[in-house]
Structures are given as C-alpha cells and as structure tokens.
Amino acid sequence: MPPPVTSSFSRPLDPVAAPRNIKRVLVLRYSQSGQLDQVAEQIVAPLRADPSIRLHEETLRPLRPHPFPWPFLTFFDAFPESAHMKPQPLAPLSLTGDEEFDLVILPYQVWFLAPSQPVTAFLKHPVAARLLEGKPVVTVIGCRNMWLMAHEKLKGMLDDVGARLIDNVVLTDPGPTLATFFTTPAWLIWGRKRGFWGMPDAGLSSEQIRGSARFGRALRDALHNDQERGTQPLLAGLGAVQANARLLISEKAGTRSFFLWGKLIMAAGAPGAWQRKPLLLLYVLFLLVLIITVVPVSLSLQALLRPLLRGWLTRMTAQFECPSGSATDRSHLYDD
C-alpha cells in the first residue's frame, strides 16, 4: 500500500484565483535526515505568519521510502538511478496542476552529484509541467559541499517544465572537503553526526540553519512589493550562495564515474537485486581509492596551477553564483 498523501496548509487552498492582495506560495519538501526540513522551516516561518500569504507545503513521498540512516549497501544501491536521474516513483500528490502560485520554493538535497530522487521524480511528474510553467522558483540546497553539477541538472529540469529560476540559496557543510568525505557517509549510513578522529560534526551548523531565516523575511517583503513578477533575484545581497569552482573538476570526474558505473550496475538488475551487490562492493573499493589518491592530487595540482586558472575560476564562480550571488550588502536588513 502506498503511504497516505499528506500536505500542510497554512490556510485553505483551491484552484480559484485568490484576491489580488493575497500571494500564494508553494513549498515542495523532502528531507531524509531532517536537516533540510529545519532549513525550510526557518525560511517558511515568516511567510506562514503573514496573513497576506497563503502557503501550501507539499511533502514528496516516494512509494518505497528511503530509510535513514541508510544501510551500507542500500546507500550505494541508490547511486545508479540517482546519477542517471531515473528515480523511484512518488506516492500520489495532493496537487492537481490546476493550482495557481505566485512563487515556488524548492529545497533539495544532492545525492551522488545529482538532485535527490524524490525531487527529480517530482520535476519529471506530469503535474510539474502544468504547475511550474512560467512560475518563479527559489531553490534551496543543503548538502556536503559538491553541488555545482547537481544544480546544472536541476536547472535543466526546470527549463524542461518552463519554470523561471529566480533565486538559489546554498548551505554547505562547513567542514574541510576531505573530512566530509568520511563524516557525511558516517552520518547517513550509521547515524553518527558527531565528529570523530578529530574531524568536525557532519552537516550544517546550527548558526547556518538559524541564519537562513533571513531569506524568508526577504521573500515576504519581495512578495509584498510584487517583485516576484520581475526578472531580478529576490535574495541578492544576502550572501545566498558561495560557489567553490575549484571543486568543479572533481565533480565532473565524479559525475562521469557515477554515470559509467551506474550504467553497469543497472544492467545487472533492478534496485535491491542481489546481482548488483558484488558490483556495488567493487565500486565502493574503487571510490575509496579515488578519494584517497585522485582527489588530493587533483586539489594539489589546482593549487599549483591556480595563477594560470585564476581567470577560469573567476568566470566559473560568477556563473555558479547566479542569480542570487554572494554579496552581503543587504544582510543587515534581515539578520536577527
């Protein structure tokens, strides 16, 4: 039996157009560990408290729920379909596609350098094409630190349904890159969020989560001023995103690896099939060797070549920080 469809309404929602002074906001939610829900709640709270805003929160529920923590092989068994963007289907949505929204907020996680399967499943759902066409979308990423390729894939899916990406917020694990290769899997697979062996805690800090409330306050004010109807970002000047273009080379190599190995593993059977397990174990060994050897060498070479790469890194950083940017000149207006 599929899980029941649930959604959360701040006020009644119907397809009929609301009064002109009422703004309708759709929030699409999926969080496996609960961390992204904490971020989404900080952003949504100012909107929910505003009587001139009607909020619809739709929780995306896979027909076969993804566990948390993830058993070891189940965790890696999710990567072939994630990398190939062939997600498990969702339980029925409460949305029909006939609803009208002024703004859409889409928080998402990064799974194996791609958007999480539930978010991918929604954006490929027939309802999404009807619901999001022409609508301004604010994406919110909560992840380890590699999100560049995943966001490119998500932007492609938004383009496919005719949505307008108006803002992007990115919150990343503040720990060192190499440390997070170990702390993040330990959290996802064994539920161990606390740091070990001298490494930091996994995930976002409480300060990052609390600080995301400034985006909700800014969105509330922008809706009051009808700014969502324009083409300019609503969250500029709030330090919404800081891109690390130095990770792009590693991300591209990882994406290629996930794609090729994923194709081989999917050929062995469907998710959960025993025939996939030997190949998954082999890939885990390959991945460990890659992390221990290739990633440090790649980062070291980039550090040595940084003077030659400076122009390229500057262009890539500017590209991935669009549309919201890393400037903080308006942050004092919305910080606590």
Instruction: For residues 218-231, give the mean pLDDT.
Output: 96
C-alpha–C-alpha distance, residues 320 and 104, integer Å: 21
User: Roughly what angle, to the nearest 10 degrees, separates helices 177-190 and 295-304?
Assistant: 150
Residue 77 gets the label, from left (phi > 0), alpha (psi -120 to 50) or beta, of alpha
Q: What is the pLDDT of residues 2-54, one digit of tens each?
A: 444 444 444 444 444 444 589 999 999 999 999 999 999 999 999 999 999 99
Note the pLDDT of residue 268. 95
Tell me the C-alpha distance between 111 and 133, whole Å.
25
Which alpha helices (H) appear in the chain, and where do they start and end? 35-48, 72-77, 79-83, 117-123, 126-132, 148-160, 177-190, 206-211, 213-224, 248-268, 277-289, 295-304, 306-321, 331-334
pLDDT at 20: 55
27 occurs within a structural domain: yes
Per-residue confidence (pLDDT) for residue 8, from 0 to 100: 45
Mean confidence (pLDDT) of the chain: 90
Q: Among 57-66, 104-113, 197-206, 245-254, name the one with the lowest average pLDDT.
A: 245-254
pLDDT of res. 336: 79
CATH number at residue 28: 3.40.50.360
pLDDT on residue 250: 83
What tens digit of pLDDT does each residue of 275-304 get? 999 999 999 998 888 777 776 777 777 778
CB 81 within 8 A of CB 115: no
Distance of CA 144 to the CA centre of its chain: 10
User: Does residue 105 lie within any of the structural domains?
Assistant: yes
pLDDT band at 112 (very low <50, low <70, confident <90, very high): very high
Give the orientation angle of helix 277-289 with respect to helix 248-268, to 10 degrees: 160
Mean pLDDT to the nearest integer, 210-219: 97
Residue 14: the pLDDT is 46
Residue 112 makes CB contacts below 8 A (sequence gap 6+) with 78, 79, 82, 83, 258
Whole-angstrom distance, CA of residue 219 vs CA of residue 233:
10
Is the residue at 15 inside a domain?
A: yes
pLDDT value at residue 293 = 77
**In this structure, is residue 297 part of a structural domain?**
no
**Does the residue 60 lie in any domain?**
yes
Determine, yes or no, domain membership for 107.
yes
pLDDT of 177 over the 90 cut: no
Percent of the chain with pLDDT over 70: 94
User: How would DSSP label each residue in 197-234?
Assistant: TTPPPSS--HHHHHHTHHHHHHHHHHHHTTGGGSSS-S
Global pTM?
0.90
Most distant CA pair in the chain: distance in Å?
60
Specify the pLDDT at position 181: 83
Domain containing residue 83:
7-243+322-334
In a domain, 275, yes or no: no
Residue 2: the pLDDT is 42
User: How does pLDDT run across 127-164, given as a tens digit for each residue?
Assistant: 999 999 999 999 999 999 999 999 999 999 999 999 99
How many structural domains does the chain have?
1
Quick check: is 126 in a domain? yes
